[in-house]
Structure formats: structure tokens, C-alpha cells
């Protein structure tokens, strides 16, 4: 399973770090993604890492503000978010090709 944490209420311009802990499968074999969903809206892919972490990709909406990383020794996927904006408010999911986490809510508001 995948379990996200770290979501919180933060002011515009603030920072937050999301974590996703994997269990029950060989984490280091899987490419991983962060995907978000604003309340009542559709799905938006925001970041990707290869299984080794040597190739990273970002959506234009978050490039330069968000950083994806992973620690395969701890079965851990991270998303460092800086310069948060009101429009970043969403449920954030970690996911691979066969499994999604339950999500963690990030709210950006003054």
C-alpha cells in the first residue's frame, strides 16, 4: 500500500513537504508519481520519478516550485513544495501504475 502524509493548511507563499511510505511491494522497482485533485475537480499529474530517481519530470504548473525525490532504502517518496499558491489547494496522491495512496489534503489560504 501507499500512505501519504504531511498535508496541512498553509498560507500563500509557504512551504510544505509531503511523504508517501510504500509497503507490501518492491518500491525500488516502480516509477512513481504525484497527482493532485482539487476538490470537486479532475485529476492533474504534477511530478514523476524513475525507479532509481535519476530522471525527474514536472508539470509546468509546479516546475521550479515543487521537487520530487525518493529514498528506496526507506521505501519513501517525497514532494517538497515551496511558493505555495491558492490554486495548489488539492488532495495530493502518490501513485504508480498499479496502486494509489489514499491522499493527503493541502489547503493554501490566508
Partner 1 sequence: DIQMTQSPSSVSASVGDTVTITCRASQNIGNWLGWLQQKPGKAPKPLVYPASSLQSGVPSRFSGSGSGTEFTLTIVSLRPEDYATYYCHQTSTFPRTFGGGTRVDIK
Residue from 22, 27, 33, 90 touching partner 1 (CB under 8 A): that is 33
Residue 102 CB neighbour total at 10 angstroms: 11
Nearer to partner 1, 12 or 43 (CB): 43
Residue from 8, 48, 51, 78 touching partner 1 (CB under 8 A): that is 48
Cα gap 63→24, rounded to integer Å:
31
Our CA dihedral for 13, 71, 6, 98, rounded to 10 degrees, sits at 110
**Could you say whether residue 88 binds partner 1 (CB under 8 A)?**
no
Q: Residue 79's closest CA among 43, 40, 36, 25?
A: 36
**Could you say whether residue 99 binds partner 1 (CB under 8 A)?**
yes
Q: In whole angstroms, how close is the CB of 10 to partner 1 at the nearest point?
A: 22
Q: Which residues bind partner 1 (CB under 8 A)?
A: 33, 42-45, 48, 57, 59-60, 93, 95, 97-103
Amino acid at each position: 500500500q501507499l500512505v501519504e502524509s504531511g498535508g496541512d493548511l498553509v498560507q500563500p507563499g509557504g512551504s510544505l513537504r509531503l511523504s508517501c511510505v510504500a509497503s507490501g511491494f518492491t518500491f525500488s522497482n516502480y516509477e512513481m508519481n504525484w497527482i493532485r485533485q482539487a476538490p470537486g475537480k479532475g485529476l492533474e499529474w504534477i511530478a514523476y520519478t524513475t525507479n532509481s530517481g535519476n530522471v525527474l519530470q514536472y508539470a509546468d504548473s509546479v516546475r521550479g516550485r515543487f521537487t520530487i525525490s525518493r529514498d528506496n532504502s526507506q521505501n519513501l517518496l517525497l514532494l517538497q513544495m515551496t511558493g505555495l499558491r491558492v490554486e495548489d489547494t488539492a488532495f495530493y496522491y502518490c501513485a504508480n501504475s498499479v496502486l494509489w495512496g489514499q491522499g493527503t489534503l493541502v489547503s493554501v489560504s490566508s
